[in-house]
Amino acid sequence: MTALFNYKLKGTDGLARTGVISTPRGEIRTPAFMPVGTAATVKAMMPESVAATGADILLGNTYHLMLRPGAERVARLGGLHRFMNWEKPILTDSGGFQVMSLAGLRKLTEQGVTFRSHIDGSKHELTPERSMEIQRLLGSDIVMCFDECPALPASDKAVAESMRLSMRWAARSKEAFGDRPGHALFGIMQGGVTPELREESAAALTGIGFDGYAVGGLAVGEGQEAMFGVLEYAPGFLPEDKPRYLMGVGKPDDIVGAVKRGIDMMDCVLPSRSGRTGQAWTRRGQVNIKNARHQDDPRPLDEACGCPACRNYSRAYLHHVFRSQEMISGMLLTWHNLHYYQEIMAGMRAAISEGRFAAWEAAFHALRAEGDIEPV
What integer best gives the mean pLDDT of the chain?
96
373 Cβ contact partners less than 8 Å away, ≥ 6 residues apart: 284, 299
Q: Up-side HSE of residue 365: CA atoms within 13 Å toward CB?
A: 10
Q: 190 falls in which pLDDT band (50, 70, 90)?
A: very high
What residues act catalytically? Answer: 93, 267
Handedness of CA 270, 275, 276, 279 (dihedral sign): positive
106 to each of 215, 323, 334, how far by Cα in Å? 24, 40, 34
Average pLDDT over every residue of 231-246: 98
With a pLDDT cut of 70, the percent of the chain lying above it is 99
Q: Which pLDDT score, from 0 to 100, does residue 118 have?
A: 86
Buried b (16+ CB within 10 A) or exposed e, 92-116: bbbbbbbbbebbeeeeeeeebbbbe
Q: 33 falls in which pLDDT band (50, 70, 90)?
A: very high
Buried b (16+ CB within 10 A) or exposed e, 13-49: beebbbbbbbbebebbbbbbbbbbbbebbbbbbebeb
Q: What single string gives the DSSP state of each residue in 60-117?
A: EEHHHHHHTT-HHHHHHTT-HHHHHT--S-EEEE-SHHHHHHT-EEEEE-SS-EEEE-
Q: Residue 192's closest CA among 221, 169, 168? A: 221
Q: Residue 103's closest CA among 90, 113, 88? A: 113
Q: Is the pLDDT of residue 269 over 70?
A: yes
User: How wide is the angle at C-alpha 161 spanned by C-alphas 158 and 167, nearest 5°?
Assistant: 140
**pLDDT tens figures, 322-338:** 999 999 999 999 999 99
Q: 101 falls in which pLDDT band (50, 70, 90)?
A: confident
* The model's pTM: 0.97
